[in-house]
Amino acid sequence: MAARVAQRDAAERYLFVDRDSVGNPATQADWTAKRLVWVPSERHGFEAAGLREERADEVLVELAENGRQVLVPKHEVQKMNPPKFSKVEDMAELTCLNEASVLHNLKDRYYSGLIYTYSGLFCVVINPYKNLPIYTEQIVEMYRGKKRHEMPPHIYAISEAAYRSMLQGVCVCVCVRALLCVYREDQSILCTYVSQTLCVC
């Protein structure tokens, strides 16, 4: 019994957001004071910056990483979500739904070990390239009989919702789309796009 509890505890860090790490009032105050936004970055794709001055077609920002001030075209600046939305399970809940915010949320969740994220009706999965203890019978039981919003994002939540819909006579369609990249011995990359649809009526 103790081993089962230990397995479940080990798995939960890959499923549940540590709310203590995202609800910090100091982070919220810092976000408000600095008027943080996202600006394009060659190195990172996007990076956080504080608004300093708005001009006609440009804004002066201070990069959060190094404090350097740069002028950025106004149309390239993207709004940043308040810190309370950090690692949000469903990106449809973001108040600022833009490319930078979506990528930042996926990255934050991934680096926290949270590979599943909802985006409205869709479930986005990022390959961790390692085995995670989130595909056991215990985890299946955690999701059994639960509605999608009652549990963190997981393929088991999607399959449970599909199963419940089928029991009620509703047609179900599950689409799996993936970009698979395989690194071969000669260091070349073989990428294959996979698309599979299963419909049951």
* Rounded Cα distance, 106 and 102, in Å: 6
Amino acid at 16: F
- Listing DSSP states for 42-110 in one string gives TTTEEEEEEEEEE-SSEEEEEETTT--EEEEEGGG-EE---GGGTT-SBGGG-SS-SHHHHHHHHHHHH
Give residue 190's pLDDT: 47
Q: For the chain, give every domain's residue range.
A: 2-22+86-200, 23-80
What's domain 23-80's architecture?
Roll (2.30)
- Residue 76 Cα distances to 42, 58, 71, 186, 197, angstroms: 13, 9, 11, 39, 37
In this structure, what token pair is assigned to residue 195? 């698309």
Give residue 134's pLDDT: 95
- Left (φ > 0), alpha (ψ -120 to 50) or beta: where does 13 sit? alpha
Instruction: List, run by run, the mean pLDDT of 10-residue segments along the chain (201 residues).
Output: 71 86 75 90 94 95 95 97 94 96 96 96 92 93 94 94 90 76 50 55 58
Residues 2-22+86-200: name the CATH superfamily.
Kinesin motor domain (3.40.850.10)
